[in-house]
Amino acid sequence: MDRHILSVFVRNQYGVLARISSMFRRRGFNIDTLTVGATEDPDYSRMTVTFEGDDAVKNQIIRQLGKMPDVVSISELHRGDSVSRELVLIKVRNDKDTRQDIMSVIDIFRAKVVDYGTEAMTIEITGESSKIDAFVDLVKEFGIIEICRTGIVALERGSGSIRNKQ
Amino acid sequence: MCGEVMKLSGSEILIRTLIEQNVDVVFGYPGGQVINIYDTLYQHQDEIKHILTAHEQGAAHAADGYARSTGKVGVVIATSGPGATNLVTGIATAYLDSVPLVAITGNVSLPLIGRDSFQEVDITGITMPVTKHNYFVNKGEVLADTVREAFKLAMSGRPGPVLIDIPKDIQTSLYDYEPQPAVTADEKTAGDGDDISAAVELINNAKKPYIYCGGGVISGDASEEAVELAEKIDAVLGCSFMGLSAVSTDNPRFLGMQGMHGHYASSMAQHNADLIIAIGARFSDRATGNKAKYAPKAKIIHIDIDNAEIDKNISVDCGICGDVKLTLQKIIDSVDAKNNPEWIEKVSAFSAQEKEQLKLTSDMTPYNLIDVINKTVDADTVIATDVGQHQMWAAQYCKFSKPRKFVSSGGLGTMGFGLGAAIGAQIGSGKKSVLITGDGSFGMCLNELATAASYNVPVVIVIFNNGVLGMVRQWQTLFFDKHYSNTVLDRKTDFVKLAEAFGIKGYRCTEMAEFEKTMKSAFEDNGPVLIECFIDKDEMVLPMLPPGGSMDDIIVERLGD
């Protein structure tokens, strides 16, 4: 089963997030991540949805989204011709025995410490999901207190815009 | 038609925008949060007629029946809270059968929203999965355009219900209003040229074509094109439950309804076909039986206005998204005219076998009752039904010669739909309507007898009374060792007295001759008439596809005796 990323350009209307997530739920489509945010135009928002499934599932999702009045356009983002990022905050235990090891992992992954205390530190890391997963795996042994992931945001490479697609 | 800008109240803007859309009848029930809308309706009673039903559910079904029988958008109004939730079954019924409906609900004033105020309910949240779209109007400035957009959405593409929730303070405050002409549905276009060429090639190569008509043939006004295509390529036609009345039952190519309780000939024809052309249909589980075993020898072409239906339930060899009428016209222009004598002969043999399976008696059987109804009504009569065995018998045996003459809840299977829908269909079509119902279904929403009596609606109600919930009981007989769990009604209800109590003529028939006479006089009556007929509780709806079975697993003989 392949991982798919869809970028969905929607009218910034009352209930639009509920409407779209409700469609996913009732039709039994499993979402891995869903992010929503403002765009360059306040009348519209952009959603980035990631999910696993075969082509039949992907096509159904695109078609079901396509018939929703709030959806303006949909763009499928492929790995090769798009950039995707996720931002994560991870709070890990901080004690003097492991501090050096944690710092070297942070260094290797180009993450940064955004909050530091004698018992815990919060690390910010941005990157593709595979990098984040690897980082999370590595810091697990130091003791993760809590974690917050934004879900994936992605854009097509080049000069095109989702607004020009129908 | 555009004129000067006026300062009007929200409720005045709502009613004027409905009048803009040429709405002349609305169905509904007043209440605290729509009292301003009803006050405006009072002032515009010469332009919009309001039909007061007994219950909001009845109003929703009536608006649905109105829409199905006319092709126009049905309109229903209800108050907040319970008024709004009572619409939900009606809205879901319309959604599953793609019926254009605009439901208008009042809600508490904006400052009271979200505080669990008296009769407050989040009806836009509740109806999100059963509407094409819905609106919570939180700015009066957009009210008129919201109503216009709702009508456009309800009728465009694949039709469906749209709900508009209007808080009370929006109804009472003043906003600018500028009259506009009525909205029209989005422009219709034929499917993609390459897809059409692919379909033409498949059709030209087929020797055993079967055309599967869905409800989209009716809503897409493509009855003539479906028949024309069948004639040109020498195909046979069948239909889903929703496709009933799309093709005249007298057409010799027409095999009737297909699927779970479909005709033997249509099931066997699909099982043996080398090409299925599905038009405005969605391969519902009730229409196809087991999908894995559906039409094993056939290529499949699917034409539908809703792109999301293509490859949803069944993957097809050629999917065409477009207006069914325009697409069919292009296909008809391009395909080769053909003769398939062997195929027609083979299907005729299935039809002959089907005739032999029908064992006729002179008793009060469902077949005989419907035969009398067929002989009594005329081509313009709308036949409405409830849900259950009587519905399937009506689907199997009723005769139709024009589209939009069969009004029944197919997708949702809503018991209690029939009476409200029959009333709405009569009011919409201006022709007589006949409701075929069962004692179980009728018991659910019989309060609408009050509506039929108040407005003297000429609807003939024929109750097929078998004292049981026959369809579930049939399954219990066949698959649950005759454990008749809660399907034996044996109510003490006297339907004749009940009718009389509501101010309606009621008759009871125990013999066919009596029913024939009563049905005839009831049909000539100018008001509502109820006729109760008794049928045997062991009557079954046959043929039947067993659960998980394919079309050739069809059960034609009565089992379980």
A69:B132 CB<8 A: yes
Catalytic residues of B, which ones?
56, 118-119, 168, 471
Q: What is the pLDDT of residues B145-156, one digit of tens each?
A: 999 999 999 999
Minimum CA–CA partner of A27 in chain B: B129
Q: What pLDDT shows up at residue B551?
A: 83
* Residue A63's pLDDT band (cuts 50, 70, 90): very high
ipTM reported for the complex, 2 dp: 0.90
- Does any domain span residue A62? yes
Minimum CA–CA partner of B122 in chain A: A15
- CB proximity list for B142: less than 8 A, separation 6 or greater: none
Q: Is the peptide bond before B543 cis (omega within 30 degrees of 0)?
A: yes
pLDDT at residue A141 tops 60: yes
pLDDT at residue B131 tops 70: yes
Q: What pLDDT shows up at residue B560?
A: 41
What percent of chain B lies above the pLDDT cut of 90? 93
A14:B136 CB<8 A: yes
Helix (H) or strand (E) holding B465: strand B459-465
Q: What pLDDT shows up at residue B394?
A: 98
* Residue B558's pLDDT band (cuts 50, 70, 90): low
Provide the pairing of β-strand B433-438 with A82-93. Answer: unpaired
A26:B306 CB<8 A: no
B308:A22 CB<8 A: no
A63:B308 CB<8 A: yes
Are residues B34 and B84 in contact, defined by beta-carbon separation less than 8 angstroms?
A: no
Minimum CA–CA partner of A69 in chain B: B133
A22:B129 CB<8 A: yes
Q: What pLDDT shows up at residue A166?
A: 55
Cβ atoms within 10 Å of A17's Cβ, excluding its own = 14
Determine the distance in angstroms separating the CA of A57 from the nearest CA of chain B, rounded to an integer. Answer: 9
Range of the domain at A70: 2-77
Average pLDDT rounded to a whole number, residues B46-55: 98
Tell me, yes or no, whether A73 and A88 share the same domain.
no
Give the closest of A56, A64, A69 to B133, CB-based: A69
Chain A, residues 29-58, CB within 8 A of chain B, namely: 56
Q: What is the mean pLDDT of chain B?
A: 96
Average pLDDT rounded to a whole number, residues B403-412: 98
Average pLDDT rounded to a whole number, residues B376-391: 98
Going by C-alpha positions, the residue among B24, B26, B37, B142 that lies closest to residue B79 is B37
Examine the fold and report which residue of A54, A77, A100 is the final residue of a domain before the chain moves on: A77
Q: What pLDDT shows up at residue B561?
A: 40
A104 touches chain B (CB under 8 A): no
- Does any domain span residue A128? yes
Residue range(s) in chain B whose domain bears CATH number 3.40.50.1220: 193-355
- Does any domain span residue A39? yes
B315:A63 CB<8 A: no
Best mutation site among B312, B314, B320 for testing chain A: the one with the most A CBs within 10 Å? B312
Give the closest of A15, A26, A63 to B307, CB-based: A63
User: B6-177: which CATH topology?
Assistant: Rossmann fold (3.40.50)
Going by C-alpha positions, the residue among B516, B528, B561 that lies closest to residue B458 is B528
pLDDT at residue A118 tops 60: yes
Average pLDDT rounded to a whole number, residues A98-120: 95
DSSP string spanning B516-532?
A: HHHHHHHHH-SS-EEEE
Residues of B within 8 A of A63 (CB-CB) are: 307-308, 310, 312
A14 touches chain B (CB under 8 A): yes
DSSP string spanning B223-259?
A: HHHHHHHHHHHT-EEEE-GGGTTSS-TT-TTEEEE-S
Tell me, yes or no, whether A71 and A92 share the same domain.
no
Residues of A within 8 A of B312 (CB-CB) are: 60, 63
Q: What pLDDT shows up at residue B2?
A: 58
- Give the count of domains, chain A: 2
Determine the distance in angstroms separating the CA of B312 from the nearest CA of chain A, rounded to an integer. Answer: 7
DSSP string spanning A99-136?
A: HHHHHHHHHHTT-EEEEE-SSEEEEEEEE-HHHHHHHH
pLDDT at residue B455 tops 80: yes
- Does any domain span residue A160? no
Lowest-pLDDT range, B156-170, B322-336, B343-357? B343-357
Q: What pLDDT shows up at residue B212?
A: 97
CATH number at residue A45: 3.30.70.260
Q: What pLDDT shows up at residue B310?
A: 96
Tell me, yes or no, whether A32 and A65 share the same domain.
yes
As beta bridge partners, residue A3 has A52
Residues of B within 8 A of A22 (CB-CB) are: 128-129
The highest-level CATH class for domain B193-355 is alpha beta
A64 touches chain B (CB under 8 A): yes
Q: What is the pLDDT of residues B509-532, one digit of tens each?
A: 999 999 999 999 999 999 999 999
Examine the fold and report which residue of A30, A57, A77 is the final residue of a domain before the chain moves on: A77
* Residue B358's pLDDT band (cuts 50, 70, 90): confident
The highest-level CATH class for domain B366-535 is alpha beta
Which residue is it, tokens 């596809």? B545
Helix pair B389-397, B366-376: axis angle to 10 deg: 50
What percent of chain B lies above the pLDDT cut of 70? 99
Lowest-pLDDT range, A156-165, B91-100, B137-146, B258-267? A156-165
Helices assigned H by DSSP within B101-192: 123-127, 143-155, 168-172
Average pLDDT rounded to a whole number, residues B448-461: 98
What's the token pair of residue B223? 């009855």
Are residues B109 and B119 in contact, defined by beta-carbon separation less than 8 angstroms?
A: no
